[in-house]
A = this chain, B = another copy of it.
């Protein structure tokens, strides 16, 4: 069976994702769509709006055949590590092709990546008043003439770099990101596709009616029926403040990504008088030209989860394929690759696994539950979702523009 691989967060699952799945099938003629999806926390260091099971189910009911969790130690990372982790998993899962969005889909990203400077070269040229990403982009532009600034281009480029670095045999298919109104935070009348960030913003503001046309019913239902982390900051901040108050700066200094004495700054601001009143004002106070918002938020996530550098480095050496769900076709594909798959295939997590390899995902799940006030456990004893082909939603053909 031919499999096409997608790297996703589905935060939340929306019509643009259905379009992505449909295009992936059309472009590659694949028999199954295999998805690697961030778990309960996403790349920006935030809790996913809905838990990984809810998001996996939405995908499986809308054209995806197999969902595997991108472990926390790969998911909550800058784009080059995020992409490398995702490509490692997709390659282990035997996909022959990858399809992803890009603001410049005509670019040959493999060619671009082969000419690109190394991460280390990027670090060498970074000065005190810029982020690593902008230093790297400037260096890349000098070398190749290509301006790497759009978010999907950056991911596309990162996938290509990862494919080269890992030496895997995966064909890359960038598809054009949809035009105006897609990436920004407005909704157009008659529009059926909007960006995940604009949907999150509408949810944050409580404007449920705005998103009715741009998400499938399964997502609408999740908002009204289930646990979610819309406005997660209200629960995130007391816990973070508590940890910054009670841990020593020595302990905070061991946290993953707590670089350049940042722990002193975080503790001083959190403990300052009168001190920040909310997560938003805290993150505003700690922002600097040196770090992006996402980088800062990831560091705060690792602080909250109390993940030390050594734990993280050990975890990253030991990836696995955690199956969240499949359709009949996905299950058939899993059986086909089972014997040759190069990473451990995990479909059930017990207390031993939760304490060993899957420790970070397990802790992240517990934290997600706290933020969402959800009682249902996220890992131990949960079984993969199995979606029968007969139960699949009739896939709407997404119509672009109006």
Contact = CB atoms under 8 A, between A and B. Distances in A.
B380 A246 contact: no
Interface stretch (A20-28, A148-156, A188-196, A363-371): A363-371
A366 B375 CA distance: 29
A261 interface: no
A246 B367 contact: yes
A377 interface: yes
A58 B329 CA distance: 74
A375 B241 contact: no
Q: Which of A242, A274, A363, A367 has the most CB of B within 10 A?
A: A242
A242 B363 CA distance: 10
Interface SS, A side = helix
A142 interface: no
Contacts of A107: none
A245 B375 contact: no
A123 B246 CA distance: 32
A126 B238 CA distance: 41
Contact of A377 (B247, B273, B367): B273
B273 A241 contact: no
Contacts of A381: 273
Interface string A230-267: 00000000110111011100010000000000000000
A357 interface: no
A246 B375 contact: no
A306 interface: yes
B305 A246 contact: yes
Copies of this chain held together in the complex: 2
A94 to B, nearest CB: 34
Given A274-B375, A381-B273, A363 B239 contact: no
Interface string A292-307: 0000000000001110
A156 to B, nearest CB: 35
A252 to B, nearest CB: 11
A39 to B, nearest CB: 16
Interface residues of A, number: 23
Contact of A306 (B238, B246, B366): B246
Contact of A370 (B242, B251, B370, B377): B242
A271 interface: yes
A304 B242 CA distance: 9
Interface in A325-380: 363, 366-367, 370, 375, 377, 380
A245 B367 contact: yes
Contact of A239 (B239, B273, B305, B380): B239
A169 to B, nearest CB: 40
A245 B354 CA distance: 12
Contacts of A305: 246
A12 to B, nearest CB: 25
Nearest to A380: B273
A50 to B, nearest CB: 20
A285 B340 CA distance: 46
B247 A306 contact: yes
Interface string A206-248: 0000000000000000000000000000000011011101110
A164 to B, nearest CB: 37
Nearest to A238: B370
6 contacts: A238-B370, A243-B243, A245-B370, A246-B306, A246-B363, A271-B366
Nearest first, the 6 closest Cβ-Cβ pairs linking A and B are A246-B306, A245-B366, A239-B242, A273-B377, A246-B305, A247-B306
